[in-house]
Amino acid sequence: MTPTLYLRGAVPDDADTILRWRRETAARLMTLHGTDQWSTPFPREKIVAWIDQGATVMAALEPGGPAVGTITTSPHGDPSLWTPEELAVPARYVFKANVAPGLGGRGIGACLITWTQTRAAKAGADVVRIDVWSTNHQLQEYYRRAGFTYLRTVPGTNSGALFEAPATITPDLPIVESDDVRVA
């Protein structure tokens, strides 16, 4: 059963939580799956910039509760990954989706992805796209099972396995948004 998630817009202080989760997830992925995903430190300033743009949300399992997941979305894709033809299609791009370490397998990540597909459809986007770590085959399989189609892998980039799924509205999604959620 998918939990009800309570979403709020991320604030700059959340950048430290996101970076900590990223470090802990990277260590777990290396130990369990031998992948180097997220092994390179990520600039805090970039996460804060996404937060300041209103692109990042934090999810909790109860109103005002501690964060259990995060997702960043944007209508702008990276031109070093996506072709001009792909970038011309109305889309939402997912970045830095992560569930708090120890809480995987509860449907939190899947719910955030489905919420993104719903928000994208309501904003007029045709697809949701994500670039997945090229050596994390388990994560690539996760997105395939979630209904994403593998497009290709961009050579010479860490996160170059490209996937997309239709932007579709899921009724009765167990999500409650606070008024400060600005993601389009």
Write the DSSP assignment of 80-97 as a string of letters.
TTS-HHHHTS-EEEEEEE
pLDDT in tens, 105-126: 899 999 999 999 999 999 999 9
Residue 110 located in a structural domain: yes
What is the span of the domain harbouring residue 9? 5-173
Q: What is the mean pLDDT of the chain?
A: 93
How much is the average pLDDT of 54-75?
96
Q: How many domains does the chain have?
A: 1
Q: Which of 7, 18, 15, 28 is nearest to 114 (CA)?
A: 7
Relative to beta strand 5-9, strand 56-60 is antiparallel
How much is the average pLDDT of 128-156?
94
* Whole-number pLDDT of residue 59: 97
* Residue with the larger pLDDT of the pair 83 and 42: 83
**Contact at 8 Å (CB) between 146 and 113?**
yes
Give the contacts of 12 (CB within 8 A, at least 6 positions apart).
Answer: 48, 51, 52
Residue 179 located in a structural domain: no
Report DSSP state, residue 148.
P
* Whole-number pLDDT of residue 28: 85
Residue 157 located in a structural domain: yes
Give the contacts of 48 (CB within 8 A, at least 6 positions apart).
Answer: 12, 15
In single-letter form, the type of residue at position 158 comes to N
* pTM of model > 0.85: yes
* Whole-number pLDDT of residue 37: 78
What three-state secondary structure class fits 68?
strand
pLDDT at 44 over 90: yes
pLDDT at 179 over 80: yes
How would residue 26 be classed by pLDDT, with cut points 50, 70 and 90? confident
Residue 180 located in a structural domain: no
pLDDT at 1 over 70: no
* Whole-number pLDDT of residue 27: 87
Residue 107 located in a structural domain: yes
Residue 159 located in a structural domain: yes
* 148: Cα separation from own chain's centroid: 13
Residue 160 located in a structural domain: yes
Given its phi and psi angles, is residue 34 left (phi above 0), alpha (psi -120 to 50 degrees) or beta? left
How would residue 183 be classed by pLDDT, with cut points 50, 70 and 90? confident
* Whole-number pLDDT of residue 34: 81
Residue 103 located in a structural domain: yes
> What length is written for the chain?
184
Calpha distance 127→91 (Å, rounded): 5
Residue 51: CATH number of its domain: 3.40.630.30
